[in-house]
Amino acid sequence: MRIILLTGNDREHRFVANSLCAEVEIDAIFVDLQPHQTNIRRALKQGRVISRIARKVYQRAIRDKRVRDQVLKRMLDGSDTFNHPERLQYIHGVNSHPTVTAIEKINPDVILVYGTSVIKTHVCNLAKDICLNMHTGVSPYYRGTGCAFFPIVYGDFHRLGATIHECISALDAGQIFDVVYVVCVPGDNLHTVFARTVIAGANSYARVVRSYLAGARCGVAQDLSLGREYRGCEYTLGAELKARWRLWQLAQDHARASQNWRGDASQKRGDAETTANRRRMNGHPSPTWKYRMFVWWCWRVLRYGECYGVFD
């Protein structure tokens, strides 16, 4: 059975490709070199252009790209290069005519997809058997782009993971073969969470392909009413700051829970009340602990572009 993989050329793409090649015999790996293009018309229609530009400026100020590269290099072991360069074919656009011609020459039974632009129907139909996709999000709740990001924005930490599903014309809407979940640990940042979904998804992807080739070919249809599709125009500065704040809150909640477990919580509360009362008697009203930490965090972001436990 002939199998090909359509993917990109970033670190996470190389990691998934190497994980699949270690478990399944893949005949060709098509690496798309075409850069991602922002849909300016949709962004203008949504009225989020200024906020998206502000997010880009903010990320550049805190050197977010460097942090992302360091995190992915540390967590995605063996992702520096493709392990099988003899199988690589570089393309410019997964839906382009030269790509279609190259795929037709191989005449694949199965097409595997990860991390490309939206695959159109005429490319999916080139697979004689099935076209599968790995989605770094939990479908049907989070479909589209940024599905390891938006669950954090909305506090849905229990819906972080990856989905292996059939690739059809509707985005991330094909029948599901497997869903894996990841746990967001205190101290994680946005990039460590994404790396965890890639690792879990790559392992699941290999299992699903092996099972499918062995004859286990039963997927489950999605109920698309349970979630919605997210788009790149929703990547705004407000969403970015809210996601980082959620992760910071998670770390602080864990730290407070650990302190309460190690000591006598009632005694600590009594000591805190005594200290606060003493300050009030001296004419120095004490702000709450959360307010002090929020002011400190804002000062650190504005001055250094970092905050405790978020950008490490």
pLDDT in tens, 166-175: 999 888 889 9
Q: Max alpha carbon distance in the chain (Å)?
A: 84
pLDDT band at 39 (very low <50, low <70, confident <90, very high): low
Q: Residue for token digits 């392990």?
A: 83
211 & 244 share domain? no
13 & 74 share domain? yes
182 & 276 share domain? no
pLDDT band at 216 (very low <50, low <70, confident <90, very high): confident
120 & 49 share domain? yes
pLDDT at 307: 46
**Nearest residue to 9 via CA among 104, 86, 70, 90:** 90
Residue 309 inside a domain? The answer is no
Distance CA 82, CA 15 (A): 8
pLDDT at 53: 86
Residue 89 inside a domain? The answer is yes
Residue 311 inside a domain? The answer is no
**How many domains, in total, are found in the chain?**
2
Q: How far is CA 203 from CA 24, 37, 197, 219, 233, in A?
A: 12, 29, 10, 18, 30
pTM: 0.81
Look up the domain containing 42 and give its range.
3-236
140 & 158 share domain? yes
Distance CA 49, CA 236 (A): 8
Question: DSSP state, 254?
Answer: H
52 & 30 share domain? yes
Residue 312 inside a domain? The answer is no
